[in-house]
Structure 1
Amino acid sequence: MRQAIETLTIQTRRKGLIPITESVAAFVADSDIETGLLTLWCRHTSASLVVQENADPTVRTDIERYFDALVPEDHPYIHDYEGPDDMPAHLRTVLTQTQMSIPVSGGQMVLGTWQGLYLFEHRRHPHRRSVVMHLMGE
């Protein structure tokens, strides 16, 4: 059994879904692990990870709009230390996930035809985000 671990740093510009599939796939390929389990861990409470369609960008637009409607910034939240997008960002993270596991076979992630990996930035302003990639296998 072998392991590989690396931190992926993503510079965000705004709220939204940021594709990370290519960067994660490169990590898997460079690991020389053929069969195993990849774990991704987002080290934040106002950003998350999602698996979503990677073919039609309007899917991402609709998801972003849905979350804006589901968790509006103009609600009278108590927690607002970092501005009006602070608490909504935490709630959006609760509704998604900060960790995911993806099987690896043949040295590649086992994703469906239209699946892509995304960091979901929930804050309006630019942030530097970290996703830990840990792969165990043979």
Structure 2
Amino acid sequence: MSPFTTRILDIRTGRTETVTDLTAACEDFLVEAAAGRDGLLNVFVPHATAGVAVLETGAGSDDDLLAALRDLLPADDRWRHRHGSPGHGRDHVLPAIVPPHATLPVVGGRLSLGTWQSVCLVDTNKDNPDRQVRLSFLG
């Protein structure tokens, strides 16, 4: 069993701002990659306009995050980066606030998350409906 294993997930986020829960896909990957071992899972988004967040989903926190990002990074004409749809420059600032990666503990082959924590892809870019997420296990 290799101490390092990686897989690419292809995610369709569509043309709206989204928070996509990746937790089940991470767990599925770890069944094979970790095979019961301890280690670290790195989740990385190779895009300049998306990020990875660990937060509660399903109880409104994911919508609250998108609302907070809209308040903090309005989709208007203030941005110097101006290609794409109006306000697209804000999408390029997003990874400075919601980083494009997270490294998470794996114990006994399973993610060691808190009770309400989920691993999520955060995508505010309406111009790019297709995303990749790289999952890498080191253990």
What CA distance in whole angstroms lies between the structure 2 residues aligned with 1:78 and 1:103? 38
Name the Cα RMSD after superposition: 1.4
Aligned residues: 136
User: Are the counterparts in 2 of residues 55 and 114 from structure 1 also a CA contact under 8 Å?
Assistant: no
Task: Answer yes or no: is the 8 Å Cα contact 2:77–2:87 preserved in 1.
Answer: no
The whole-number CA distance in structure 1 between the counterparts of 2:107 and 2:92 is 34
1:126 Cα deviation after fit: 5.0
Alpha-carbon contact 1:46-1:121 (below 8 Å) kept: yes
Contact 1:35–1:107 under 8 Å retained in 2: yes
* Residue 90 of structure 1: aligned partner: 92
Structure 2 CA distance, aligned partners of 1:75 and 1:20?
32
State how far apart, in whole Å, the 2-side matches of 1:123 and 1:48 are. 11
Aligned residues of 2:41 and 2:105 also touching (Cα < 8 A) = yes
Counterpart in the other structure of 1:41: 44
Which 5+ residue runs of structure 1 have no aligned equivalent? none
Paired letter, 2:100: T
Alignment of 1:3-18 (within 5 A): 3-13=4-14, 14-18=16-20
CA distance in 2, matches of 1:44, 1:126: 10
**Which 5+ residue runs of structure 2 have no aligned equivalent?**
none
- CA deviations 1:1-53 (Å, max 9, x no partner) are 62211011111122121111101110011211511111111100111100001
Counterpart position of 1:65: 67
8 Å contact from structure 2 (residues 76, 86) kept in 1: yes
Question: Residues of 2 paired with 1:2 and 1:62: CA distance?
Answer: 38
Give aligned-pair identity as a percent. 24
> 8 Å contact 1:8–1:131 — kept in the other structure?
yes
1:113-128 equivalences under 5 Å are 113-128=115-130
Contact 1:20 1:117 in 2 (8 A): yes
TM-score normalised by L of structure 2: 0.91
Q: Which residue of 2 aligns with 1:52?
A: 55
* Amino acid in structure 2 at the alignment position of 1:7: I
